[in-house]
Amino acid sequence: HINSQLRTGKLVRNGEDRKPVICIEGNIASGKTTCLEYFSKTSNIEVLTEPVSKWRNVRGHNPLALMYEDPARWGLTLQTYVQLTVLDHHLSQIAAPVRMMERSIYSAKYIFVENLYKSGKMPEVDYAVLSEWFEWIISNISIPVDLIVYLQTSPQKCFDRLKQRCREEEKVIPLEYLQALHHLYEDWLINHTSFKVPAPVLVIPADHDLQKMLHQYEENREKIFTVPR
């Protein structure tokens, strides 16, 4: 079953014939990139990592750094650009029978924009404009997601990894920021108390060291690629 799905990439849903899309979700530094890298070695899978390099350099500007320096001033700027670049990923032609991608337009809105607004760092008018854009996009453009793989971490673990990887822009991130994102993720994907979940969720505990994580990815391979029909 898994092999035939991988070979043909066919997924028939609502009479529509298209290739399955799997989104990898999780907190900052939860290990999404490692997960995607691991599965990129599988043939017949196309892997799209997040366009974070674009967020650090748009025509010579760094909206990611600006957002961390002054979220109230630059949150809208970054999140508008994130929404565009992620939408571009969702809409790009799928080159292999299955697509795996980092995050989605949904988490950009339900986690990051929501967090900026809820924590009082985004003016209400900015939130309203971003929300109008988002609502327009998801009501007018088909953005299929067939499975969400949620890398579930503790905020403390992400904080430790963040300090280790030392990305310049992220040096200012406090533990509380990761805790807030964690709660938004849990309410969305585990407790189902906030926003509509666009696809079935597979939870993978992701606090473990690299070896154990790779082992778990292998153990979950079948579940991941036998995308629910």
Tell me: does residue 182 bind ligand DCP (CB under 6 A).
Answer: no
Candidates 39, 74, 112, 188: give the one binding ligand DCP (CB under 6 A): 112
* CA angle, residues 121, 122, 124, in degrees to nearest 5: 135
- Kindly tell me which of 32 and 182 has the beta carbon lying closer to ligand DCP: 32
d(CA 203, CA 192) in angstroms, rounded, equals 14
State in angstroms the smallest separation of the CB of 33 from ligand DCP: 3
> Among 108, 122, 180, 224, which residue interacts with ligand DCP (rule: CB under 6 A)?
108
Q: How far is the CB of 13 from ligand DCP (least distance, A)?
A: 27
**Minimum distance of ligand DCP from residue 150's CB (angstroms):** 12
Nearer to ligand DCP, 38 or 144 (CB): 38
Q: What is the CA radius of gyration of the chain?
A: 17
Distance separating alpha carbons of residues 112 and 28, to the nearest angstrom: 11
Write out the two tokens for 129: 């404009």
**Binding-site residue total for ligand DCP (CB under 6 A)?**
18
List the structure tokens of 54.
């674009």
Compare residues 5 and 153 and give the one whose CB is closer to ligand DCP: 153
Q: What are phi and psi of 200, to 5 degrees?
A: -60, 150
Q: Which of residues 52-91 bind ligand DCP (CB under 6 A)?
A: 52, 64, 67, 78-79, 82
Catalytic residue, candidates 16, 102, 132, 135: 102
50 is catalytic: no
Which is nearer to ligand DCP, 18 or 195 (by Cβ)? 195
Contact 127, 1 (CB under 8 A): no
**Rounded CA separation 188/181 (Å):** 11
Q: Exactly one of 9, 20, 26, 155 binds ligand DCP (CB under 6 A); which one?
A: 26
Exposure of 176 by Cβ count < 10 A (0-12 exposed, 13-18 middle, 19+ buried)?
A: exposed
CB of 115 to ligand DCP, least distance (A): 9
Helix ranges (H only) for the chain are 2-8, 32-40, 52-56, 63-69, 71-91, 105-107, 114-118, 124-140, 155-165, 175-185, 210-225
Q: How far is Cα 159 from Cα 90, in angstroms, rounded to an integer?
A: 29
Residue from 50, 114, 126, 146 in contact with ligand DCP (CB under 6 A): 50
Asked if residue 30 lies in contact with residue 155, where contact means CB atoms within 8 angstroms, the answer is no
Question: Least distance from C-beta 101 to ligand DCP, angstroms?
Answer: 11
Using CB under 6 A, list all residues that contact ligand DCP: 26, 28-33, 50, 52, 64, 67, 78-79, 82, 103, 108, 112, 170
